Amino acid sequence: MNRVPRMSLLLLSCLGPNGLGAQAVAQAPGSMDEENIKSRDTDYPVLNPHATHRLTLTGILPNTLSIRFLLYYTTSARPTADTAGDEKPCGSMVGLDVFRPFQMTEPLRIVQRANHFRATVTVDRYLPGRCGWHLEVIGFTVPNGVGASAESGFARVYDAKRDMPYLGDLYEGRIDEWCKKNPYPADPRRPERCASFASLQRISPVSPEVIARIPAAQQKKTPLFWIFPRTENIEIDFHDLDAMGRSSEVRP
């Protein structure tokens, strides 16, 4: 039996054709907000009454951008072949021979004042239960007002068994996401793209005048942010390149 990875790690140096934004993206099979479990199901996750790991998400979010933050949860894969007796697998079948662990998505509420925002993420919000429920990725969507969105993940919860081969840079610094109107309006599902400056520049060149006003440190690609048990803060700053092209204001 083939298995679909819980959240396959894609280390992207540029935007792919599907419009995913982050420089290092944790992407679920299919849509990142695709769910295969309902609240009435037996294995739906249970709130953890003794949750202790809370982290603060802060940053810049221009009011010219429409960004929604999401939390992606999944289970430790347990296909039928790994279960005993009448125990049900912790997931569903895709087609005849592909297993997909349970997945669900929750919106993350933010508090925004002017161009700054703040949110609290409870990493251990749910009890693992028999299926091993856990927060996998913190991400965001860029909705277009009709339900479709470009999706991106920027922070992933570290798991020693799963992630050791893929760690790369252990990055815990600030994340910069640059956003620009999609230069290919023929695809209404991707009205705007957000990515590292270098990635975005490859598909939608930015004028030299704007580039000259952007600090060099903010033009670099940002590795995937890893969330460890000790992690308490994440800063992610969004920049609207279209607005910058119409204004002389640039964050120092």
27, two tokens? 């992407």
**Could you list the pLDDT tens digit for every one of the 252 residues in the chain?**
333 333 333 222 222 223 333 333 333 333 444 667 888 888 899 999 999 999 999 999 999 888 999 999 999 866 544 555 556 788 877 777 778 889 999 999 999 999 999 999 999 999 999 899 999 999 998 876 555 566 788 999 988 777 776 656 677 788 999 988 776 655 555 667 888 888 888 877 788 888 888 888 888 777 788 899 999 999 999 999 888 877 644 444
> Looking at residue 157, what is its pLDDT?
92
Q: What pLDDT digit, counting tens, does each position of 58-81 carry?
A: 999 999 888 999 999 999 866 544
Domain extent listing, the chain: 2-245
> Looking at residue 210, what is its pLDDT?
85
> Looking at residue 216, what is its pLDDT?
85
> Looking at residue 171, what is its pLDDT?
75
Q: Work out the angle at residue 9's Cα, subtended by the Cα atoms of residues 203 and 43, and round it to the nearest 5 degrees.
A: 130
Separation CA 204–CA 184 (nearest Å): 9
> Looking at residue 252, what is its pLDDT?
42
DSSP of the chain: -EE--SSEEEE-SS--TT----SEEEE-SS-TT-----TTSTTS--B-TT---EEEEEEE--TTS--EEEEEEE-----GGG--TTPPPSEEEETTTEEEE-EEEEEE--EEETTEEEEEEETT-B--TTTT-EEEEEEEEEE-SSS-EEEEEEEEE--HHHHGGG--S-B-S-EEEEEEE-S-TT-TT-SEEEE-HHHHHHHSPPPHHHHTTS-GGGGSPPPPEEE-TT--EEEEEEEEHHHHHT-S----
